[in-house]
Amino acid sequence: MLELRDNGTLIALVAEGGWVALPNGDRVSPALAGWSNADGFTLSEVAEPEPATPTPEALRAALPALSRRQVFIGLVASGLATASEVLAISATGIVPAAIEAAFAAMPEPQQSYARITFAEFTLAERLDPTTLLLQAAGGLTDAELDAFFVEFAQV
């Protein structure tokens, strides 16, 4: 796309390679970036807008979801749970003490919903409320949890 300008003032956007009718009745063909005439008309490439800087929330939403296996390996590798605690989650449904304390502090019915979600999850998403609850239970900062998702997405 090209900008047609009259002495610096934008008049129109035009397709490159086609023809352009100028306000004074003249025609320019083909329309190419860099063209100008003595009357002050110019054709130049449209400046690309600066890409918007994504918000931290948008970056977090774009992080890959982790499988149950990736989360459990990450918990052990990060020292947030022991291997025996993680195996107990899978075998018996018993959750580590820090997670249990977070669940117990919640009012009903949110407590039951969080327990069900944790017991049945197959994918953990970075901004899911249960993930945020576990973040708080583990005492992790946003940056630490972001790093967890990045690192264990590779497992």
Tell whether the model's pLDDT for residue 36 goes beyond 90.
yes
Same domain, 68 and 41: no
pTM of the model: 0.65
Q: Which two tokens stand for residue 69?
A: 């296996």
Is 50 part of any domain? no
Print burial letters for 15-30: b (CB count within 10 Å at least 16), e (below 16): eeeeebeeeeeeebee
Is there a domain that residue 147 lies in? yes
Residue 145 lies in a domain: yes
Is residue 98 included in any domain, yes or no? yes
| Same domain assignment for residues 116 and 144 | yes
The pLDDT score that the predictor gives to residue 96 is 84
pLDDT of residue 18: 86
Per-residue pLDDT tens digits for 45-99: 987 777 889 999 999 999 999 999 999 999 999 988 899 999 999 888 888 888 8
Mean pLDDT, residues 16-35: 90
pLDDT at 48: 78
What is the span of the domain harbouring residue 134? 56-152
- Same domain (yes/no): 11, 86: no
Phi then psi for residue 64, to 5 deg, are: -65, 145
- Are residues 134 and 69 part of one domain? yes
